[in-house]
Amino acid sequence: MIGSRIKTTLLLAVLTAVLIWIGGMFGGRGGMFVAFLLAIVMNGASYWFSDKIVLAMYHAQPIEEFQNPQLFQTVRELAAEAGLPVPRVYVIPQQTPNAFATGRNPEHAAVAVTEGILRILTPSELKGVLGHELGHVRNRDILISSIAATLAGAIMILASMARWAAIFGGFGGRDDREGGIFGLLFTAILAPVAATMIQLAISRNREYLADQTGARLSHNPESLARALEKLEASSKRLPMDASPSTAHMFIVNPLSGKTLAGLFSTHPPIEERIRRLRSMH
């Protein structure tokens, strides 16, 4: 718990520093002050509302038990096995099979699955996937993951603004000061890289741990391994309509079928994840 809080604090501090730096590139000291105020607002919003923001991004719809009794029963069984409150359940209206968990703590957690994953997985494979997601909840990964998604998205938006400013000559004559158009171009290129590198730092090892936790909760590592094989193959055939700022939240990289996605992969190699699962006894 303490380690999770430290990681969350460090993440907020680093992303805040990046936001302030971008503000400085836009408007000097005044821009840095505005960016600092923006960072304070965004940090608060990220903590309290990051789950709602991410769910809204994917048009995830809450469902009731009568709409999918088997899905709810599986979630309830896994939550009991993990000693967790039963999370809210959402369905994402996309055919690419995938899933993620979000929320600031286990008492406010949500699990979201796509329509596609409900269509292609067997009940035991789906249980493995849901076990993985509840593994993130149990391991308290979901807050830092959701905050990273929200703030990294904000950094990418600001970087996009910087890119357009560079194209159209900057703001208020600043192209003659402090680097001008080159500084804005540098910001536009580096800020998304910085956001992605922060995501990489928090994502890869936690996927292995969530796989291990999920396999133990579902009592079937092989089912999760088979599910990962199916999800990876489907994602390559039909990349998900997903934002790079939230790619790290999904059980498999939703952008794996896109040409440049491998440059900044937010997930460890799927083959290694499967190998580790199949080596579990």
Q: Considering its fold, how many domains does the chain have in total?
A: 1
* Cα dihedral 12/18/22/27 (nearest 10): 70
- Helices marked H in 104-176: 115-120, 123-138, 142-167
Cα end-to-end span (Å), the chain = 28
Say what the pLDDT of residue 263 is.
46
Q: Which domain holds residue 273?
A: 2-278
Say what the pLDDT of residue 192 is.
67
SS3 content of the chain, % helix, strand, coil (to 5): 70, 5, 20
Say what the pLDDT of residue 177 is.
47
Helix and strand counts by DSSP (H, E) for the chain: 8, 4
Q: What distance in Å separates the CA atoms of residue 102 and residue 260, rounded to the nearest whole number? A: 26
Q: Is 20 left (phi over 0), alpha (psi -120 to 50) or beta?
A: alpha
Of 64, 115, 125, 133, the active-site residue reads 133
- CB neighbour list of residue 172: distance below 8 Å, 6 or more residues apart: none
pLDDT in tens, the chain (281 residues): 445 567 667 767 777 777 787 777 667 777 788 877 877 777 677 667 778 988 999 999 999 999 999 999 999 999 999 999 999 999 999 999 999 999 888 999 999 999 999 999 999 999 999 999 999 999 888 777 767 766 666 677 766 666 666 666 554 444 444 455 656 666 666 666 666 666 665 656 789 999 999 999 999 999 999 999 999 999 888 888 887 778 888 999 888 655 444 445 668 889 999 999 999 96
Residue 102, beta-bridge partner list? 110
To the query of whether residue 133 is one of the catalytic residues in this protein, the response is yes
Query: Parallel, antiparallel, or unpaired for β 88-92 and 110-114?
Result: parallel
